[in-house]
Chains A and B, each alone.
Chain A
Amino acid sequence: MTTILPTPPEDPTDPMAKRLKPQLSWQGVFSGVMYFLMYLPILVLTVYSFNESPYSAGWKGFTLTWYAKLFSDYRILEALRTSLLVALVAVAVAAVLGTMVAVGLARYQFWGKRLYLGMSYLPTIVPDIAIAVATLVFLAALAIPLSVWTIVAAHVVFCLAYVAIVVSTRLGDLDPHLEEAALDLGATPLQSFFQVLLPQLAPGILSGCLLAFVLSLDDFLIASFTAGNGATTLPMEIFSRIRTGVKPDVNALSALLISFSAAIALSSEYFRYRSERKKVN
């Protein structure tokens, strides 16, 4: 075939990003004070985790003893293992179910859809204590023995809601004709889901999973209500320790947890941001 179309011109390069001049304003000062008050306790905790004094009162000099002690503490490591197990399994289940919820709600029309939509997001609004008590009563009513798996089940509930919300947002930004285009080109519904829709949703699913992972890792209330004998998560371990006074090793543990959570939350934001950028360009 001969070529009949002229070559389209290249895109012009992006305009330079505008730079804002730093300015001192009362809004800036107010925000600064707000952030200072919000992060001051964390800062204090982090500083004290490097304090040589075991009683947390005055500064006695810099040390890494507490961090070292942490990694040789069997109970802490065991609790960490439980926490990671719960978070990983709960998030894995929630990733599949949450994606299905989001896709199902966006793609199909069915009776009671609005009610279902509201209900699937409810776990993000309902107080944790209500979920915790409700889950405990429910498990007791069905005579299900508490174990590490009951924590997982309870965590799936709220993780699912967060994954569904993030994936729904991503889905709303996608071209509604993507799947039709795949069908049109000869893909079966299953092929069009796995080869076209799922790869496009992947950044949203990943971002939702990381968010859910952090929330599961940090949860104390629901875990402590639904945990069986011997199933102690990291937040539960920390809580049991501070009842006998705040030790510097708990400070160290908390500092680590905060840094880890922040890192995951940031990367979740990064994946979301990158997928947005890709779309806009």
Chain B
Amino acid sequence: MSQTAVSTQRPSKTDTAYDVELRKVFKVYNGETAVRGVDLQIRSGEFFSILGPSGCGKTTTLRLVAGFETPSAGEVLVRGQSMLTVPPYQRPVNTVFQSYALFGHMTIWDNVAFSLKLKGKTKAELQDRVREALELVKMTSFAHRYPAQLSGGQQQRVALARALVNRPAVLLLDEPLGALDLKLRKEMQVELTSLQQELGMTFVMVTHDQEEALSMSDRIAVMNEGRVEQIGSPSEIYERPRTPFVADFIGETNLFRGRLTQHDRDGLTVVTDAGLQLAVKSQEPWAGGGGGGGDVVVSVRPEKVHVSLYKPEVAANCFEGDLRNIMYLGTHVHYVVELRSGDRVTVMQVNTGGERPKLHVPVYVHWSPVDCLALAA
């Protein structure tokens, strides 16, 4: 995450100088609330992702910034200026659409030059800037083709050039890589992040792909049912999810529902609904209710769980179970263990080449109290 470290060190003027700010924004369509009180502050020059399952309101949030939707309540600011009365064609933002929305009757050159022509730029400036934008995405040799003559990946680059040629304050990307195949998507992930770093421009990307968000972003907002569940750096989101939804949505995890029975300096003790006693030792102080009785969800990442054929010499979080499924993934081995309590635990272990347990043999799973998280349910 060296790229994250570099970007967050970039000076961000003052605290009020966010490039994009959403204040308690609501959006209601025909009685259905798509966005419920979203607060976002996107810093200048950061690669910010809005991540969530389909229908969580992430695209609507982006469209509110672009100006294609007007908020039912709340305020949208770009560079400190309220956008409430500003139509999309006067906002200092540009969008890369998931479907690219290239103008089929214009050549690539004319597509990119479109916004500059509308602004009445001189011919010399127009030519310089279009050439520069096409060079940036390596599409110069395609300038005189039509969009229909390009592949999906090439159209994507043109859409990017067309949005960047304007030098917007903020570039909005709506699932920009969603229509590309896996290999091309991986390439474009790298290219987009290096492009963003080179330009130092604020990128706001909407995606449902958690891996994409984790690998590309400086910060991520996880959305669910129209609300922002958590905002943080990729490692914060992954390692310290604040809600059960975030823990479950970002990466794979084992969730245990239960009740808090003990809470002291050594950590928490949770008894799950199925009767397991779990010890949790968080790095952060427990924010939920003190004492006992509160509903809690405990999350344990599969890579933090160990499987062994013999009873390990640990007291906490060690359970006996049956090995139900083994998936060999090359670098890793994926196990599913059914505990005596009936809970299923998924385990991801690095393939070290040693002896691997066989199916349907009794095994022990265990994990350290510091490797699990208790979340208020």
Count CB-based A-B contacts (< 8 Å): 105
Which of A8, A177, A199 is the one whose CB lies under 8 Å from B138?
A8
Q: Which of A167-190 contact B (CB under 8 A)?
A: 175-178, 180-188
User: Among the listed stretches B145-153, B271-279, B286-294, which one makes contact with chain A, having 4 or more residues with CB under 8 Å of it?
Assistant: B145-153
B279 → A minimal CB distance (Å): 49
B196 → A minimal CB distance (Å): 11
Q: In the complex, A178→B66 CA distance in Å?
A: 14
- Pairwise interchain contact A181-B87, C-beta atoms closer than 8 A: no
Q: In the complex, A7→B139 CA distance in Å?
A: 7
- Pairwise interchain contact B194-A180, C-beta atoms closer than 8 A: no
User: Among the listed stretches B11-19, B71-79, B92-100, which one makes contact with chain A, having 4 or more residues with CB under 8 Å of it?
Assistant: B92-100
- Pairwise interchain contact B95-A1, C-beta atoms closer than 8 A: no
- Pairwise interchain contact A281-B149, C-beta atoms closer than 8 A: yes
**18 A-B residue contacts at CB 8 Å?**
A2-B198, A5-B195, A8-B138, A8-B139, A8-B151, A11-B151, A180-B88, A181-B101, A181-B102, A184-B94, A185-B89, A186-B118, A188-B89, A195-B114, A202-B105, A278-B146, A279-B148, A280-B148
Q: In the complex, A6→B136 CA distance in Å?
A: 10
Asked whether A229 is an interface residue with its Cβ less than 8 Å from the other chain, the reply is no
Closest chain A residue, CB of each to CB of B115: A185
Return chain A residues, CB-CB under 8 Å to B87: 183
Q: Which residue among A178, A185, A196, A281 has the maximum number of chain B CB atoms within 10 Å of its CB?
A: A185
- Pairwise interchain contact B194-A182, C-beta atoms closer than 8 A: no
The total of chain A residues at the interface (CB under 8 A) is 32
Return chain A residues, CB-CB under 8 Å to B90: 186
Return chain B residues, CB-CB under 8 Å to A188: 89
Which of B103, B135, B137 is the one whose CB lies under 8 Å from A196?
B103
- Pairwise interchain contact A185-B162, C-beta atoms closer than 8 A: yes
Known: A4-B195, A8-B157, A178-B101. A186 touches B138 (CB 8 A): no
Asked whether A244 is an interface residue with its Cβ less than 8 Å from the other chain, the reply is no
Closest chain B residue, CB of each to CB of A11: B151
Return chain B residues, CB-CB under 8 Å to A23: none
Return chain B residues, CB-CB under 8 Å to A199: 103, 105
- Pairwise interchain contact A183-B136, C-beta atoms closer than 8 A: no
- Pairwise interchain contact A200-B103, C-beta atoms closer than 8 A: yes
Asked whether A191 is an interface residue with its Cβ less than 8 Å from the other chain, the reply is yes
Asked whether B266 is an interface residue with its Cβ less than 8 Å from the other chain, the reply is no
